[in-house]
Structure 1
Amino acid sequence: MRADRDAGSWRDCDETILVWIACLDRLKITGMPIREMLRHARLRAEGDHAGTEQRALPERYCGRGRAHLADPRASLVVLDAKIGSYAATEQGTQNHGHANGNPAGARRPRA
């Protein structure tokens, strides 16, 4: 699959090439090496008769991709909890003793 060049020497990609580039980006996220992406491209070019092998190749890397994505998600959960903790501490510090209009540590007037 090749992208032609227009008069200004820019690549002229049709929709099928853009879809293939998006597929390669997804394979990259799984950690698939370029040599395996090239193999996948060759199998794709062979057509439907290469289906089993064509399916098996990305399947091998799919689990790695899931693990790769799960790690940042877990980190974000921890960071969100930490941010919430900081916000609660900050809110408590700002409101400590000020809820009734008295400065922190000041006594309320007797009635």
Structure 2
Amino acid sequence: MFVYGTLRTGQSNHSFLGKASKLGACQLVSGYSLFNLGCYPGAKKSISSHTPLYGEVYDVDSNTMALLDQLEEYPELYTRELVDTEFGVAWIYLYCLSVIDLPLIHSGDWCRK
């Protein structure tokens, strides 16, 4: 699982990852934009974005995945898709509502917004 927001180390929802193994810090080189939704971020696919999306990759089991799906309100608020990372293929949650008028996080890093 590639996480980029409140599930990252030191963030408010990190405990939802339980005993998942952290494989390491990672960045998706381009193709995503990160928006500030208030208390949490949302990433959207963006062909025009060349800013890296920063996050961490975890090895999660099916029980943890089910818990994360509830937290992320999948599939109503976020969808999931597979992405290639330096640790292998991982799921990422992508925000599926409109981001019109929402602030863009130019750094691509929720922890350095």
TM-score, normalising length from structure 1? Answer: 0.26
Larger radius of gyration: 1
Name the structure with the higher helix share.
1
Q: Which of the two has greater strand per residue?
A: 2
TM-score normalised per structure 2:
0.26
- Structure of greater relative contact order (alpha carbons < 8 Å, 6+ residues apart): 2
